[in-house]
Amino acid sequence: MALYSEKVMDHFKNPRNVGVIENADGIGEVGNAKCGDIMKIYLKIENDVIADVKFETFGCGSAIASSSMATEMIKSKRLDEALELTNKAVAEALDGLPAHKMHCSVLAEEAIKSAIEDYYKKNGIKYDQDKFAKTNCRDHEE
């Protein structure tokens, strides 16, 4: 399909890590139904490593593919490594996203950060708030 790369279509048709984690250590939900994009990330963390990750997404092909790829990229990584994940890296891993769909990759990055932040908060762990700045729905046009 001209609109999306083969990788995007693959992650869209065969998304990895779809689902929920009961009693997740960290849950992040970003976006809103008004915008038409919502991503929810569940994390299972053991010894500061992401032992398991699942996602649920309400959104377009790019959104689903971005969430799928993002979860693949952080699985088994240490928390501090996962925090380094950028939307650009996600988009690159997908062999690129159309310009007007880049915001989907931003949302994926934010969802993961949100889940990690949730974990920190739940466990009273100090963290650098600046690393978790969120953008507005209408801001993330790149």
Partner 1 sequence: MKTIYLDNAGTTKISERALKAYVETSEEFFGNPSSLHSVGQRAKEILEDAREKIAKCLNAEAREIYFTSGGSESDNQALRSCAEIGKRKGKKHVISTNVEHHAVLHTLEQLKKEGFEIELLPVDGEGLITAEQVKNAIREDTCLVSVMFANNEIGSIMPISEIGAVCREKGVYFHTDAVQAVGHIGIDVKESKIDLLSISAHKFHGPKGIGVLYAKKGIPLTPLIRGGAQENNKRAGTENLPAIVAMQVALQDACGKIGETEKRLKPLRDALVRGLSKIPHSVLNGPREKRLFNNVNFCFEGIEGEGLLLLLNEYGICASSGSACTSGSLDPSHVLLAIGREHEIAHGSLRLSLGEDTTEEDVKTTIEKVGEVVAYLRNMSPVWRDKTNGKQPFIL
123 near 26, Cβ under 8 Å?
A: no
Going by C-alpha positions, the residue among 102, 111, 103, 38 that lies closest to residue 74 is 111
Binding partner 1 (rule: CB under 8 A), the pick from 24, 43, 50, 57 is 57
Q: Which range binds partner 1 by CB under 8 A, 9-17, 73-81, 82-90, 117-125?
A: 9-17
Residue with tokens 């010894």: 47
Q: Is 12 in the site for partner 1 (CB under 8 A)?
A: yes
Q: Is 18 one of the binding residues for partner 1 (CB under 8 A)?
A: yes
CA distance 20 to 18: 7
From the list 10-18, 69-77, 79-87, 114-122, the region that binds partner 1 by CB under 8 A is 10-18
**The only residue of 5, 16, 29, 132 in contact with partner 1, by rule CB under 8 A:** 29
Which residues have a catalytic role annotated? 35, 104
| Residues contacting partner 1: total by CB under 8 A | 32
120 is an interface residue for partner 1 by CB under 8 A = no
State yes or no: residue 100 binds partner 1 (CB under 8 A).
yes
Q: What are the start-end ranges of the H helices in 5-82?
A: 6-13, 61-74, 79-82
Residue with tokens 């279509």: 9
81 or 142: CB nearest partner 1 = 142
